[in-house]
Amino acid sequence: MTEIYQKLENIVKKEFISNSLIVRHAYSRVVDPVLQGIPDIVIRPKDAKEISEILKVANEENIPVIPRGGGDDEFGGSKPIGDGGIVLDMKRMDNVLKLDEDNLIVTVEAGISWGKLDEYLCHYGLYTGCMGPGSGMTASVGGGISHQSVGGGGCAKYGACTNQLVSLEVVLPNGDIIETGSQANKFSKIPFNRFGNGPDLAGLFCGDNGIMGVKTKVSLQVFPRPPFAAYKTFLLPRKDRQVSSQIMLDVRRKGIDVYDLMYIMDLIMRVGCDQGMFPMWEQLKKKRGIIFYTVEANSEAELQEKVKQLDTIILDNKCEALGPEISDGNIAKWHYVEQGHWQFYHNLWGMVPALEPLSCECFVPANMYPTILDDIDQWDMEHAKDMEIFTKVTGMRPITGSGPIFLIDGNNVELTCGFTSFPSYYNGENHEGWDELNLKLWKSLMGMLTTKWGVQWYMMGEMASRIMAQLDAYLPDYYKTLKAIKKVLDPKNILSRGKFEFWGDGNK
């Protein structure tokens, strides 16, 4: 390995490459406690040219390479499958390259975080619309595009972050560097449109989970932040799942361009309050499900009209409005004004110390999620015996359920569900078999959602893409076509080897 290390070091310089044990372990996991793969080398390139050279070496030596942005993936993805390979840490490439204020397009290096980008844009009265994922303080724009991310605010109005994509610069697995959209014309002066000059090649890299190329430069549409906004929170009546779903459908049917519309189930409300996570709701006598909205407008009159229409729908569904201030329980205000959309999930994930998330995130139609949630409850009951194994030792039962459910493009919602369990190393002791049990349960839940409901996994990490393959869930000709494209772009399967299980599940 030392000769290869030397070749790579010559590309990036000494301080941007490491094979030390501590660094390799630091890059061996993402958010979940179960999946681990320890890379041989971690490397932090500064530009597309360096990445191209790294990929050429990887091809010569047949070494897998895994791109990593913020490393906020929840189920593998930005770490190797099995041990070995090179992790390509993109976070050094975190600059804004150009803001085209006339055409409202920003061009950034792919390793920049959504937080840094939006902080920059706010000085110009602009924002990214979809604020990336809920992990946007650390998650990168390149990771978001690779995942079709949505969730960090603005989802009901703008949809997933890939909707705003104008063009990409991508280093292909063989080291070639391409640009997409208007930039495919070498005479084009500036990125200005995604579609045209041939098929939408950028689409191939959206949601690819890092298998088709390394995104190095991203041009996104940006938007003027409207001067008026209203944000309200409501307590749902009983049957909160059905009622919240009905509200979402009604809002879409009326064509109100709500910015965010989010449902938080009663379980999260109760457990979150017990854990001191939601001080704004502690005084509420009824700990029921919550629904909240944010709406934006260009004038006070427009805003009031939208608020009137939204309130009518929500109050007709027997919800109870909470007061206007955050201390009254108005989480919508915190979410929008204090950028709670980027603070929310990190707390939820660590709701109880040592309780680890084994989550799955998918898109489903808004009229479907109440029944899916019922099925998830049923799944939990059917696995009570397994859950008891953890409860006996920890005194706490793993919690199954869903995080916030929010309206995205069309009539769809983003459904974050799963269970919070315990890692095998708990309270100073190693508990044999726990990792395997967690993995078994996790796969079982994702399997149920895949085969019974046909949910759409949008960020696939390593878990979802492999489960789709293992369960034979892809239409055969779709899978064959995807595999053929991968083969053309990446004949040695260098990039993100093992995802989608095109050529088996291993890292070799």
Partners of 42 in the β-ladder? 18, 87
Q: Name the minimum Å distance from CB 20 to ligand FAD.
A: 20
Which of 162, 180, 209, 438 touches ligand FAD by CB under 6 A? 209
Scan residues 468-497 and list those touching ligand FAD (CB under 6 A). 496
Q: Output the six-digit token pair for 199.
A: 């098929």
Scan residues 317-346 and list those touching ligand FAD (CB under 6 A). 345-346
Scan residues 30-49 and list those touching ligand FAD (CB under 6 A). 30-31
Residue 142 binds to ligand FAD (criterion: CB under 6 A): yes
Q: Which stretch binds ligand FAD (CB under 6 A): 65-73, 235-243, 281-289, 307-315?
A: 65-73
Residue 154 binds to ligand FAD (criterion: CB under 6 A): no
Q: Which stretch binds ligand FAD (CB under 6 A): 73-81, 219-227, 362-370, 371-379?
A: 73-81
User: Scanning the structure block, which residue is given the tokens 């502690």?
Assistant: 282
Q: Output the six-digit token pair for 445.
A: 């839940």
Which of 115, 210, 340, 418 touches ligand FAD by CB under 6 A? 210
Three-point CA angle 450, 452, 457, nearest 5°: 20
Question: Given its phi and psi angles, is residue 180 left (phi above 0), alpha (psi -120 to 50 degrees) or beta?
Answer: beta
Three-point CA angle 50, 486, 28, nearest 5°: 60
Q: Output the six-digit token pair for 372.
A: 């899916």
What type of residue sits at position 95? N
Residue 68 binds to ligand FAD (criterion: CB under 6 A): yes
Q: Output the six-digit token pair for 261.
A: 């519309």
Q: From residue 211 to residue 230, what is the string marking binding to ligand FAD with x (rule CB under 6 A)?
A: ---xx---------------
Residue 82 is given by DSSP the state S
Nearest to 260 by CA among 163, 153, 366, 364: 153
Q: Which stretch binds ligand FAD (CB under 6 A): 147-155, 279-287, 309-317, 437-445?
A: 147-155
Q: Name the minimum Å distance from CB 416 to ligand FAD.
A: 7
Task: Please give the size of the binding site for ligand FAD, defined by CB under 6 A.
Answer: 38
Cα–Cα distance between 89 and 116 in angstroms, integer?
17
Exposed/middle/buried for residue 3 (C-beta within 10 Å: 0-12, 13-18, 19+): exposed
Which of 134, 153, 181, 418 touches ligand FAD by CB under 6 A? 134
Footprint of ligand FAD (CB under 6 A): 30-31, 66-74, 77-78, 90, 110, 133-135, 139-140, 142-144, 146-147, 149-152, 209-210, 214-215, 345-346, 349, 459, 496
